[in-house]
Amino acid sequence: MCTSTHFFLGANSGRGFQSLFDRFCEPADFDDLLVLKGSAGCGKSTMMRRIGEAMEERGEEVEYLHCSGDPDSLDGVHIPRLRTAVVDGTSPHVVEPKYPAAVERYVNLGAYWDLAGIKGEREAVTQWSEACSAAYRRAYRALGAARQMEDSAAALAAELCAGAGLAADAPDALVITGNTAMLYLLTGADPDCLAHAPFEADRLFGETLTGADLGLCCPGAAVYLPRCISAFVGADTATALLAAGLTEQPGVHLLADIGTNGEIALWDGHTLSCCSTAAGPKATKQARSRVFSSGSGPEQVTAAVSSSLQASCSAVRGAGSLRT
């Protein structure tokens, strides 16, 4: 009875593309290694799949190497008993023969392009190729940011334990807060819903995970992620409101967090209203310079923050209602 095995030789990670292709394609392991060349969409994966299926029908054991960017596509197919493999030798896992013809040989599927037909679709080919490259760049930026979030959370937890004289794995419970996008990246959730209209989060947290889920130094700890208020008013604002005790104070009070986004919370003694606006590094720098140069009095600080918020909000007037 024939068997088939499916696995990956590459991975898209927070440190970029990681590949074991070079170890798999060692010439000593093969009598015949066919290296496919050709552009995306020219039929490399289809050809390898059909080869694998034909070998299975003949009773051969077959190993299928799936693409990390598209698991439905193949990067290679291996028939162990025949010491033969067919692999995609194009980027990002480029394969070039070490012993041409003696072990490896090229199969150029680009030789079978319908040049006239493709050139007639030049605009579409260019558009979709650029869109695909842009999507990969966005994906790698998101993966890199997620990796930084995980590394930063782990480092902060270890630092807190060291400062308290505790072993790194000692905590039983932790609370980690951040804006909505940060919590998406920390937990590996897909942040796509935050990147386009209507900008509605499909996850607002208020949930408990474990340290192991987040790669922390205390894998057994319960880790609470506070609930975000909305897509752009995050759990960091919610915890700041609790820490300041804003809603327990009489009269009118304002809490402002000026960063890449400017989150603003207004308590009028009865109702708490929250919104956010684009601020950016320039507004953050202006706010800091005005606050630190205005003296230590509460009136001066309030005036400086108010002036910075007005400056950052003026750039988005007319762009739509504030998110509440």
CATH code of the domain in which 193 resides: 3.30.420.480
Quick one: 132 and 80 in the same domain? no
Residues spanned by the domain of 103: 4-113
Query: Does a structural domain hold residue 233?
Result: no
Query: Does a structural domain hold residue 75?
Result: yes
Q: What pLDDT, on the 0 to 100 scale, is given for residue 320?
A: 31
Query: Does a structural domain hold residue 65?
Result: yes
Quick one: 17 and 107 in the same domain? yes
Query: Does a structural domain hold residue 121?
Result: no
Query: Does a structural domain hold residue 194?
Result: yes
Q: Domain end: 227, 255, 276, which one?
A: 227
Quick one: 9 and 109 in the same domain? yes
Query: How many domains in the chain?
Result: 3
The three-class DSSP label of residue 253 is: strand
Quick one: 109 and 86 in the same domain? yes
269 secondary structure, DSSP code: S
Q: How far apart are CA 102 and CA 211, in angstroms?
A: 52
Q: What pLDDT, on the 0 to 100 scale, is given for residue 317?
A: 33
Q: How far apart are CA 38 and CA 160, in angstroms?
A: 53
Q: What pLDDT, on the 0 to 100 scale, is given for residue 290?
A: 46
Q: Domain end: 113, 145, 178, which one?
A: 113
Quick one: 169 and 197 in the same domain? yes
pLDDT, averaged per 10 consecutive residues of the chain (324 residues), comes to: 85 87 88 93 94 94 93 94 94 91 93 91 92 88 84 86 89 91 89 87 94 90 93 91 90 87 89 84 53 46 49 38 33
Q: How many helices (H) and strands (E) does the chain have?
A: 8, 14
Q: What pLDDT, on the 0 to 100 scale, is given for residue 22?
A: 85
Quick one: 208 and 257 in the same domain? no
Quick one: 200 and 108 in the same domain? no
Quick one: 26 and 96 in the same domain? yes
Query: Does a structural domain hold residue 158?
Result: yes
Mean pLDDT of the chain: 84
Query: Does a structural domain hold residue 300?
Result: yes
Q: How far apart are CA 173 and CA 254, in angstroms?
A: 31
Residue 245: count of CB within 10 angstroms of its CB: 9
Share of the chain above pLDDT 70, in %: 85
Q: Residues 241-257: pLDDT tens digits?
A: 999 998 898 889 999 98
Query: Does a structural domain hold residue 232?
Result: no
